[in-house]
Amino acid sequence: MPNDVLNGIVLRSTDYRESDRILNVLTKERGLVAVTARGARKPNSKHAAFASPFTYGEMEVNERLGKLQLSSSTVFESFYSIRESYEQLLSASRITSICERVADSDPNDALFLLLYHSLSVISYGENDPKDIELCFLAKLLKLEGFAPALTYCVKCGADLRRNKEVRFSNSMGGSVCERCGSAFVSASAVALEAFRRMMLLDLNDIRRVKLPEQVRKELDSLLYNYAEYVFEFTVRK
């Protein structure tokens, strides 16, 4: 079988056998793939530079018995600075692990671009990496068809934009007025507005995201709870 050229970002790298690595890569052409990089852990391996998380580049792969093997690779961007800060590493790792859970073997340009821009801003931006992580999650929810209602009550339809505090229901898909859902978790108008804006924000503008501490805390809990509910998986935190 002839070699195939794939552009991708390494989401995870797992040591395998004595000196190999298995790479889980989000590619433009074939969605999520697993590629074996033989000898990648040997000193002076030609795959060493490519075979680590967050690396964006081009791979030449060949397919044998349905399994992909890396034959050559070119690094376009290593996002190296992510590895130099604990907070950056943590946020970037959550993003790649969520990507791995939602991606499948269909090409998904929008997901690829969202991942690329998020890693890029975490690596080079001045932002709190948590803000980019939350922005990634908000945009991913919209991308996957789970944008929640945030300006009106999902039950009675009441306009909630003048309310300072409302409720939020995962199962009902968004904001609920006090009368309809006093048992649900409360959410501040500021946090819901930040959530709404992040979903709509152009990818080139995500470096502008700067959340106030209180909003960041609130959304960290609300967004992850909602995402875990709709995606039906637990995000490792």
Residues binding Zn ion (CB under 5 A): 153, 155-156, 158, 177, 180
Separation CA 136–CA 119 (nearest Å): 10
Q: Which is nearer to Zn ion, 23 or 150 (CB)?
A: 150
Q: How near is the Cβ of 176 to Zn ion at its closest, in Å?
A: 6
Q: Which is nearer to Zn ion, 147 or 158 (CB)?
A: 158
Q: How near is the Cβ of 160 to Zn ion at its closest, in Å?
A: 8
Long-range contacts of range 98-104, CB-CB < 8 Å, 24 or more positions apart?
98/136, 98/137, 98/140, 98/227, 98/235, 99/11, 99/26, 100/11, 100/12, 100/24, 100/26, 100/32, 101/231, 101/233, 101/235, 102/140, 102/144, 102/231, 103/26, 103/31, 103/32, 104/31, 104/32
Q: How near is the Cβ of 181 to Zn ion at its closest, in Å?
A: 7
Q: How near is the Cβ of 184 to Zn ion at its closest, in Å?
A: 11
Query: What's the helix, strand, coil split of the chain in %, to 5?
Result: 40, 25, 35
Beta 20-27 vs 56-64: how paired, if at all? unpaired
Separation CA 213–CA 100 (nearest Å): 28
Q: How near is the Cβ of 225 to Zn ion at its closest, in Å?
A: 20
Q: How near is the Cβ of 168 to Zn ion at its closest, in Å?
A: 12
Separation CA 187–CA 135 (nearest Å): 17
Q: Which is nearer to Zn ion, 156 or 200 (CB)?
A: 156
Beta 56-64 vs 31-37: how paired, if at all? unpaired
Q: Which is nearer to Zn ion, 16 or 152 (CB)?
A: 152
Q: Which is nearer to Zn ion, 184 or 229 (CB)?
A: 184
Q: Which is nearer to Zn ion, 34 or 156 (CB)?
A: 156
Nearest to 223 by CA among 178, 184, 168: 168
